[in-house]
Each structure stands twice: as C-alpha cells, then as structure tokens.
Structure 1
C-alpha cells in the first residue's frame, strides 16, 4: 500500500504557531485576543452598504479573471493618485485576498529549486508559499538597533546573487513594523535589474505608517511598466476588510495575460458583489484611512510606551503597521510563554517564533484595538510579569 500523504515539500511546511497558541484560548471568553492582525472594529458602513446593495441587486455572477473593469479603473485611479504617476488599468489584477496574490505570482514565476530571498522576521506565508512550490529559501535577518528595526543593506546585497530568482520584501513589515528607507530602493532595484531578479513586494500596510506622507516608500514610482517588479496588496488592513478576502496585483505588462490564466486555474475570479464593495472603498475611503492612521498612532504610543515601562521588556519602535514586536528578558520559548500567558493572565499574543527563528523570545501584540482593550491587556501583562519575577 502506498501511503496517502502529501508530498515532502508540503509535509515540511511549518504549522502556524499563531494558530497553535490561539487554539489554547480561543474558546475562553475571558481572554483578550491580540494574536491576529486585524482591527476590533468592523468594516466601515459605506463599504458594507455598497456590498449589500450589490448582492441584493443580483451581482452574483462570474467576472473577468483579472477583475471587473470598473474595479480595475477605480484601482488605477487610486494607485495613480497615491504614487503620483500613472498606474495603468491594463497592469492590474484583482485577487481573492492578498495572500492569494502572493500565491498566484509565485506560481507564475517560481520553479522548483529556484532560490528565493526574503527578509525576516516575516509573516509565515511569505516564506512558506515558495516552499510549497519547492523553492530554496534564503533569509536575511532584520536587526533591532537604537530602538528600531533595521535592515543591513550590505547583507541583503550579498544574498542577491546571480542565481537568485525572487526577492520578497514586506514593508512596512509584519511583525516588526520595519519600513524600508526610501534611499535604499534604488540600490535594491539596481541589483535586481543586474541579475534579472523578480522583486515582489507585499504591501498591505503601505498606508498605515506613523510618519509623514501618503504611504510607505514604494518601488512602483521607480520601476518601468514592463520589468520584473510586482506589488501585491489587499483591502484587508487599510479598509478593515480582513474577512472579505479581496486583494490585487500590479504587474509588468508582459505578465498580465499569463496571470489571467493562472487565476482561471485557481479561483476563476473574485466574487462579483464584493468587488462593488472594493470600488466603494477606493472611491470613498480616504477619510477612513486618515482616521485609522490617527487611531493607530495613538494606540501604538499607548502600547509601546507601556511595554517600555515594564521591567525586562525591549520594545522597538514600529514605523508602520499595527503591531508591537517585543521581547521579554529570559524568554527562550515564545510558544510556551504565550500559552502560559493565556493560562495565567488571559492575554492572547502571537509567539515571535511564528515569524521565523529570529523571532524566538519575542511576542507580537496587534494594537489595532480600542484603547480601553489595549489598556486592560497591558495591565494583565504587567501583573503577569511582576508575578513571574517573584
């Protein structure tokens, strides 16, 4: 009898340590849950109302593989405003979530045995998706220094060798909040051009930055419309649409037709009526994004400030995103610590080791919650740490 198991590359995938920890406390009503990356508030009403109307109007049919033309036109206008240069309708593809966009572009450009480089700590999906496709992964670690996370550009350049097929960059980064400095883009893009490396950026937090400007530094204004640069993105974070599963890709023109085929053999198309909600988000959402950025800046200062007051806690400043990534002195097993924190303090955090070995000893706190919820969690954590030190 042949064993009915998955192929070795799938069996070797990391299981989600976030899910492992969440399973311990998910059923407990007393647990304050900061372990996943989403707001504790629902999608704005104007998006829900537009989507509900579309559903009741019967927008329930198949659409174009790359997305409805009216959504792609709205997205083109939004991106062109955001990046102060035209982003053509013809370069856009709508996907069933941002993670779906990452999988689709990986299927399109990654072959078994290809070398793929990614900066870490990182959202596990960025590392594991190429592994599903039997790629060889090489990681370049971010480092905490002077109270912030930093990328050693020389280390990244050393990793980008002629045999590299793809570089994945997530900035602002999940979980650290690190954001690529604008001045580093030219050198990275030049190296990718020199060796023919695909540069794929995962940009869900690009609007959620804590400094000035409309968005985090992007490669789209620097890249030609037909070179090996792809931006993947999602409606999940900036518009509080995590459960909607709606994303997009900005593609080189020569890849668009092939991507339509890849979408066909994965999902065929994104849901019709949800695309109407996405149009409303793009056309009417700037005031919401501005309010969300203000809210996140307040709770970021609240959580980081409180963590830094706790003995033995190191909490670097995030430059974007919605997370505090911090370590506690003496913690060597993030999963065990997170489970014990649920048991003894009813606080749910994501273990840092879920984001790679560089995160061992660290924890991730999603602070995209009401201030009073964060305050309650901080009080419980402080009490837990005080009891732990006795």
Structure 2
C-alpha cells in the first residue's frame, strides 16, 4: 500500500482533535468543547431561506465563483468593514477550509518555501505539505497565558525565497490577534521580498478590541484589507461558519488581488471546478440572508461569546496551577495545567474518566504541547461552569 499513498500524505499526522472526539462521540454524559463551533443553531431566517430555495427546486449547479447576487452582497459586506472590495475579487467556496486549499493551490509549487505563524489550526500547515511545499514555522511566545508575536523573528524568517506567509489572526487556538502596526510591518516586508500573504481572517468579527485598533469602529479585528492596496500580493480566506453559526453549511469565500487581466479569478474558477465545481445554491441563498442580518445578529453573538469567555475564565482562574489569559479574539481559551505536559494523554483521560471533551494543544503543532483548547461558544453558561467542576475533579482539586 505504500506505493498507493503519496509520501507527503502518508507523513501527515491525523487530527488529534478527532482522535480525542472519537473517543467520546455518542456518549450523552460528555460535555464536548473540542470543536470550534457554538451550541447555537443557525438563525431561523437563514435556515428558512435555504429551505425556500430547495422548495423552489434550486438543486442544480451554479457558477464556479458563486451566485452573482451573493458576490455582490458580500462585496457590500466586506467593503462596509474594510476598504472597498469589488465583487470581481470575490469567489465563493465550499467552506473556509476549501478557500485555504484553493489559495494554496493557486500559489504553491512543490518545493516552495512557506512561513507559517504557529501554533495554528493544523489544516493551515498541512495543506502546503500535501502540495509538496516546505513549511517553516515561526512560533508565537506565551507570557502569563497570553501569546505574543516577535515581529522581528517573523520578518527575519521571510526572505525573497519565501513564496507565501500563512497567518491566522485572530488565531485558533490562542486568540492572539495582530495589531495594526504589526500588520503594516509584515505587509511592508513582504512587499520587499515579493512574498504572498495568505491571511485566514475567519474570526475577525469575534473580537473584543477597540475601534482605534480594529476595522470599522471596532466591528472587526485588524485586517490586512484595511491597509493593503488592491494589487498587493494578498489573499484573504473567510468563512460563514463562525460569525453566522453556519459551521455545517460548509461555505466560505476568497478575496483575491485586483487583476485587470482577470487571470487570478480565472485560475480560481478552474480550481473550484476541479475541487468542488460550485457551492450548493441553497446554501448560498442562506448566506445571502445571513449577510442581510449581519448588523443585527453578529453583535449579539459577540456579546454572548464574551459572556461565555468571561464565565469560563472566571472558573479556570479559581483552579490552582492553571495558566490562562483572556483571548482578544476567537472562540477559545487556551490554557495549561502545571505539571501536565502530555496534552493528548490528558485530553483522553478527561474524556474517558470525567466526561469533559477538550482539544489537546499538541493538535496545533509542537508549539502547543502542554496546553489545552476549550471552546467557550456555549449559550448555556451553566454548562461551562459544570465543565470547570469536572476539570477540578480530574485534577484532584
């Protein structure tokens, strides 16, 4: 069988999050906080829009790049948060992870060097490796539970030989978020080296910063779209999953550079054809409704997430030996327990013996070893408190 599976694929580790989750799926006693999704369902109006589409019989293929009306609505949404982005720079994808994969396929050849800011969701670094690219990892550094970027360390790692920089901010799993000054330094440096920036900004709305730091009066975290010129070597990947409670819908989008010749979008259309052909029409109809609700829905979701974040952190801080800090963005508390260095073993034991489902830090690369990720996107705050009680019991507290 070794001749059947490509060597670059065979060398990739399986998801450690799934390894833990598979041990607890189907057990009603388990409090599951391992995946990055809320316990709230998609808004009713969004579900009804998709159902109406199905009732109308919209079960056929659509354009590779997405419905024109969705791309137009998305253009208005993105432009309201950031600098104007024309619909001709947007492509609808079947999930945010598909947007990342298409970006990698657009830019990378086998043997290319890629720099990635880590720890990070493992798919982001695995995709270049699947394509035969080489990933150079630059780690964030923890201090009292908060993760920080050494900007100079990152800039030193990016050279003219670096084809692309991969950066996810707000970050999964740490919650770390780029500042505007850091973004500008990175953009300026990548312009000098000719390096592409692939920015995964799926958590941009799930952020608790200020208007001075972020985009559009504080409604979103700092984005490269705020400072980049339309022709810059920048690809932004996005998703409807997090900000609109649409994880199971598998719908995302790409923002590509302005290209008067249309070659970038033409290439993206080819890749979308080869990967998935197109996103389902009924899902796109739901996304249209989600965008129409954005101004009233997203702020309420962010407020509920903050309540979950603060409830969880308050509980964790009562436990001795826990190192944790408030994440400025995202869905997760990333923490470590003093003396517990094997995160996978600890996560498995928490599931098996205490009915608590967390993601091991090792799932996000060796830089996350010794840490655990807890998704606090729970409307039921008592559920979070019960989870803290179970963790305390597991630690003998």
TM-score interval, smaller chain: over 0.9
* Equivalent position of 2:51 in the other structure: 52
Q: Following the alignment from structure 2 to structure 1, what is the Cα–Cα distance between the partners of residues 145 and 339?
A: 19
* Equivalent position of 2:186 in the other structure: 188
Residues 273 and 189 of structure 1: is their aligned pair in 2 closer, same or farther, counting only changes over 3 Å?
same
Mapping for residues 1-390 of structure 1, pairs under 5 Å: 3-83=2-82, 85-212=83-210, 213-254=218-259, 255-369=264-378, 370-386=380-396
What TM-score does the superposition give when structure 1 sets the normalisation length? Answer: 0.97
Q: Following the alignment from structure 2 to structure 1, what is the Cα–Cα distance between the partners of residues 275 and 307?
A: 40
Gap runs ≥5 in structure 1? none
Residues 3 and 321 of structure 1: is their aligned pair in 2 closer, same or farther, counting only changes over 3 Å?
closer
Secondary structure of residue in 1 paired with 2:224: coil
Secondary structure of residue in 1 paired with 2:137: strand
- Deviant stretches of 4+, over 6 Å: none
Gap runs ≥5 in structure 2? 211-217
Q: Following the alignment from structure 1 to structure 2, what is the Cα–Cα distance between the partners of residues 75 and 275?
A: 11
What TM-score does the superposition give when structure 2 sets the normalisation length? Answer: 0.95
Q: Do the aligned residues in 1 keep the contact of 2:116 with 2:135 (CA within 8 Å)? A: yes
Q: Following the alignment from structure 1 to structure 2, what is the Cα–Cα distance between the partners of residues 204 and 338?
A: 26
Q: How many residues align?
A: 385
Offset of residue 316 of structure 1: 2.1
Q: Following the alignment from structure 2 to structure 1, what is the Cα–Cα distance between the partners of residues 43 and 3?
A: 45
Secondary structure of residue in 2 paired with 1:25: coil
Question: What's the Cα RMSD here?
Answer: 1.1
Secondary structure of residue in 2 paired with 1:248: strand
Offset of residue 4 of structure 1: 4.7
Offset of residue 373 of structure 1: 1.1
Secondary structure of residue in 2 paired with 1:324: strand
Q: Do the aligned residues in 2 keep the contact of 1:164 with 1:197 (CA within 8 Å)? A: yes
Q: Following the alignment from structure 1 to structure 2, what is the Cα–Cα distance between the partners of residues 132 and 188?
A: 26
Q: Following the alignment from structure 2 to structure 1, what is the Cα–Cα distance between the partners of residues 317 and 150?
A: 25
Offset of residue 73 of structure 1: 0.2
Q: Following the alignment from structure 1 to structure 2, what is the Cα–Cα distance between the partners of residues 189 and 4?
A: 42
Q: Do the aligned residues in 1 keep the contact of 2:238 with 2:254 (CA within 8 Å)? A: yes
* Equivalent position of 2:215 in the other structure: none
Task: Please identify, of 90-99 and 310-319, the stretch whose mean Cα deviation from structure 2 is larger.
Answer: 310-319
Task: Please identify, of 304-313 and 130-139, the stretch whose mean Cα deviation from structure 2 is larger.
Answer: 304-313
* Equivalent position of 2:213 in the other structure: none
Q: Following the alignment from structure 1 to structure 2, what is the Cα–Cα distance between the partners of residues 359 and 266?
A: 31
Offset of residue 3 of structure 1: 4.7
Q: Following the alignment from structure 1 to structure 2, what is the Cα–Cα distance between the partners of residues 340 and 93?
A: 43
Secondary structure of residue in 2 paired with 1:165: strand
Offset of residue 285 of structure 1: 2.2
Q: Following the alignment from structure 1 to structure 2, what is the Cα–Cα distance between the partners of residues 285 and 86?
A: 18
Secondary structure of residue in 2 paired with 1:364: strand
Q: Following the alignment from structure 1 to structure 2, what is the Cα–Cα distance between the partners of residues 271 and 337?
A: 40
Residues 311 and 146 of structure 1: is their aligned pair in 2 closer, same or farther, counting only changes over 3 Å?
closer
